[in-house]
Structure 1
Amino acid sequence: MKKRVYLRFISTIAMLASMISIAFGAASTTAQAAALPYSPHPVQVNPVILKTGQGNAQYQFACQAPTAAVRCYSPQQIRAAYSIQPVLNKGITGKGSTIVIVDAYQSPTVQQDLDKFDTTFGLASTTVNIIAPDGLTPFDSADPNQLGWAEEISLDVQWSHAVAPGATIDLVLAKSNQDADLLSVTKYAVEHSLGDVISQSFGEAESCADPKLLVAEHKVFEAAALKHITVFASSGDQGAAQPTCDNSSYILSASTPASDPLVTGVGGTHLDADATTGKYIGETVWNDAFGASGGGYSTIYKRPFYQLGTVKSQWRGVPDVSYSADVNGGVLTVLGFLGTNSGIYIFGGTSAGSPQWAAITALAVQKVHHRVGFINPILYAIGHSRDAYQDKFHDIVSGNNTFVGTDASGNPVTITGYSAGKGWDATTGWGSPIVSQLLSFGW
């Protein structure tokens, strides 16, 4: 008990110290920018997906074969790989906790797709609560932008449920993908204390967000921390790069909101797990033709208190943690709004990791009977303890997140990234979780 109280005290001190350092770090660009309104910028989501064939009676798909050119994983395999199943076996399913998923637009088949996902993989059923504080935009199946967000919704809902099948899911939808609209509904979720943990599977280059919006956004995250609401965000799928504001090319940039020091940024790995049992074999930094783990250093937020002694830069480093993200080793997800192309798809991207980390947090909430709140200081405390770190995280030590792509004119673009190493790095943070051990820590 003393250990838990001590850690929660340290967490509070670290949170306050982070708020102070952020204010100084952002002063040059935002000190005079507190007044609204701010200029919105569209936030794109482009989950990389591949359609699978039909599974057999044992829920086996061709991509689950060891010899498959592109591998995939079911909920049971992911639960095994990250040691989630032992937690579920003890009755810790997230019951009594609520996960808030923030997305834009809508999916007209979100509940039906979740139902099919559950029956396909033998999971307990649940009902998604759909909340649209600013109104629900009619679904346009001819709009690629809306289709991308509908795909993201399916991924976020199904895989948060796969990890925490007993948790309540509140799907909070913005009326558009403008960052101002996404912030509006995130603020609503925090002000109304809708859930214990929030997942945001989207982001943009820091320079694309209006400085006034970043100030307002950070205040929302401060409010979340004070209410002990945990906030996750995916770190991006273009390695050390982010798209330029007009989407014509790429620049070296961290992704916001993951770069906010009051958010836990989630990077991506290539997971190698046993094709039959899902037993963990190993991981490397996700970096291939499909994309790469987002990571790097903020140019807006100063290094927060909890990164002292870890991050050498004077600026906030991201991500904090990571999770399986490669399409080659992606997660199976049901899409029912694509007409004749509806079916089960393989999903990749760091956007898969954010809702699953949120679900892991929901498990912790049930286990300790209270919200765990701002968890970054706890994660870094674990990282600084050699024995605790080896016991609770898979350290990713191989790979980099250099991005190689092309601009809108077809010209090659290379953004040199960062390399993985022992302990924290700007590709996968502290690594991926060993959930049964991580939840044994004094939250």
Structure 2
Amino acid sequence: MPKNSFFRRMPRVLFASTVMLGLLASVTLGTGQATHAAGHVNPNAVTIHPQHVYAGNVQDGPTFRCQSATAAVRCYGPQQIRTAYNIQSVLDSGITGKGRSIVIVDAFSAPSIASDLQLFDKTFGLQDAPLNIIAPDGLTPFDPNDDNQVGWSGEISLDVEWAHAVAPDATINLVLAKTNSDEDILSATRYAVDHNLGDVISQSFGEGETCVDPKLLKKEHQLFFEATQKHITLFASAGDQGSSQPSCDGSGNYFLSASSPATDPLVTSVGGTQLIADPVTGAYQSEVVWNEPQFGSAGGGGFSTSYHKPFYQYGIPGIKSFRGEPDVSYNAAINGGVLTVWSESGTPGAIYIFGGTSAGSPQWAGITALGAQKANHRLGFLNPAFYLIGHTSLAKQVFHDTTVGDNGYAYADANGNTVTIPGYSATKGWDAATGWGTPDVSKLLSVLIPFSCGENNAANIASLH
């Protein structure tokens, strides 16, 4: 991957079913691996190729076939995720994100996203969402034969539908960059910040920190500073190749690296777990670090080489001189992924199982929108609150602390040799595999709102500028 380009945090996918009313068949295992077009790398963008496997279209009662304990690859719909992470009780209390707004920054476009969102709502019994599509620099005409654009359309579908699934009445402002170059992504994000488009911004993309032009990294950090001054909460996915990132030259190799923009200390980095929950009711059972070698995927995490340890990470065992990430996590597994309508896959109304830390960032944005409605103000910069809570006995009540697994990553090089990049192990408390863990949303919001920085955070923000 060349410098000056964003490697989009590609959502891992398995093709699930072509339906109009949303009933899915059994699922066959596939590679689920994003690959690179070696030797055909655009100097300003990285092309990706999502893999998928068709699953059939047999319906089985009111649930999908993959919502079974015996399914080869399991899946979750909105109701299961809402139950597992204790979101439903918040929605039942009348906190639905109404009056709040979520910004999703993505690249290129998904021409069918509005109708796909309507089908997603119809399939899962959700109310329609307020959706605004904004292209401040214009749109690149969608090319269904361009794998890079098609991949981004899947990302857009995942981001929009699952932010909405968590905060169904929040307005979603989808801000689209004209390409996935660093400069274009930054331009789209600047528009969102300058125009104060939302309470929270979700960024489901990233690249190796050292692959970013230092001048652009500085501009990005300045923009995040301006966003935080406006009390806009920032999330970014931590990556899908464990402790590594794709090499900057696009050669297909990987190197030990944390992901930018998730490493920025003003951003809340979202790592990945594999959620084990009842496939029908969603009742929470357990979680482990997301690491599925069969799909070439694992939850991102590690340490910055650009940003020193921020004040809120003082006193954390294992964090020495530089920023550690992720800060929190969310379900990212492919086996246990989330159902998403994605027509740009080539079949209108097709439903896929999506995984990746891409899924976590927009859902955490949805959680933040719920908190903003409950608090009646923006929650602002959340990392100090997460770490303050993490140091107290409240952590056990509001976070599912993942203590099993690691995010090591292995891949085959050009000669077919297996290269292993050691990862970080989950431990009690914060770790560089899952951060503080995943949320019990109802309990977390009750604690997070009084702990959050909200609109009284000038000194903490200034210390990170």
Is the TM-score greater than 0.5?
yes
Query: What is aligned with 1:255?
Result: 259
Name 2:159's counterpart in structure 1. Answer: 156
TM-fit CA distance, 1:180: 1.3
Whether the 8 Å contact between 1:59 and 1:121 is mirrored in structure 2 is no
- The alignment status of 1:64 with 2:77, answered yes or no, reads no
Report the Cα distance in structure 2 between the residues aligned to 1:346 and 1:293, rounded to whole angstroms. Answer: 17
- Contact 1:45 1:149 (C-alpha < 8 Å) held by counterparts: no
Q: Which of the residues 389, 394, 402 maps onto 2:400?
A: 394
Whether the 8 Å contact between 1:267 and 1:353 is mirrored in structure 2 is yes
The alignment partner of 1:63 has SS state of: coil
Cross-structure match for 1:49: 13
Residue 420 (structure 1) aligned with residue 426 (structure 2): yes
Residue 159 of structure 2 aligns with an amino acid whose one-letter code is: D
The 3 A distance-change label for structure 1 pair 126 and 342 is closer
Q: Distance in 2 between matches of 1:287 and 1:127?
A: 35
Distance 2:372 2:180 in 1: 30
Match of 1:141 among 139, 144, 153: 144
Q: Which runs of 5 or more residues in structure 2 are unaligned?
A: 24-58, 453-465
Residue ranges of structure 1 left out of the alignment (5+ in a row): 1-38
Counterpart position of 1:279:
283
Do 1:44 and 1:145's aligned partners in 2 also have CA atoms closer than 8 Å?
A: no
CA contact (8 A) 2:130 2:170 kept: no
Deviation at 1:128?
1.5
In structure 2, distance between residues paired with 1:161 and 1:410: 42
Match of 2:446, SS state, is coil
Given that 1:203 and 1:255 are in contact with CA atoms closer than 8 Å, whether structure 2 keeps it comes out as yes
User: 2-side partners of 1:341 and 1:327: how far apart?
Assistant: 22
Q: Paired residue for 1:5?
A: none
Aligned to 1:13: none
Letter in 1 for 2:105: V
How far apart, in 2, do the equivalents of 1:321 and 1:230 lie? 14
Q: TM-score, normalised by structure 2?
A: 0.85
Q: Secondary structure at the match of 2:179?
A: coil
Task: Give the AA of the match of 1:431.
Answer: G
Q: Name the aligned partner's letter for residue 211 of structure 2.
A: C
Point out the structure with the larger helix share.
1
Identity %: 61
Aligned letter for 1:287? N
- Quote the offset at 1:59 in angstroms: 4.3
Matches within 5 A, 1:9-20: none
CA distance in 1, matches of 2:444, 2:409: 31
The CA distance in 2 between the partners of 1:238 and 1:214, in whole Å, is 22
1:45/1:148 contact within 8 Å kept? no
Counterpart of 1:48, as a letter, is: R
User: Which string of whole-angstrom CA distances, capped at 9 and with x for unpartnered residues, describes residues 228-286 of structure 1?
Assistant: 00000000000000000122200000000000000000000000001221000000000
Q: How far 1:342 moved relative to its partner? A: 5.2
CA RMSD of aligned residues (A): 1.4
Shift of residue 43, structure 1, vs aligned partner: 2.2
Counterpart in the other structure of 2:392? 385
CA contact (8 A) 2:273 2:290 kept: yes
Q: Deviations over 1:106-139 (max 9, x none)?
A: 0010001100000000000123100111111110
* Superposed displacement of residue 58, structure 1: 5.3
Equivalent pairs, count: 405
Alignment correspondent of 2:378? 371
1:399-410 aligned at under 5 Å gives the runs: 399-410=405-416
Corresponding residue for 2:118?
Answer: 115
1:83 shift after superposition: 0.1
> Which SS does the other structure have where 2:250 is aligned?
coil
Aligned to 1:356: 363
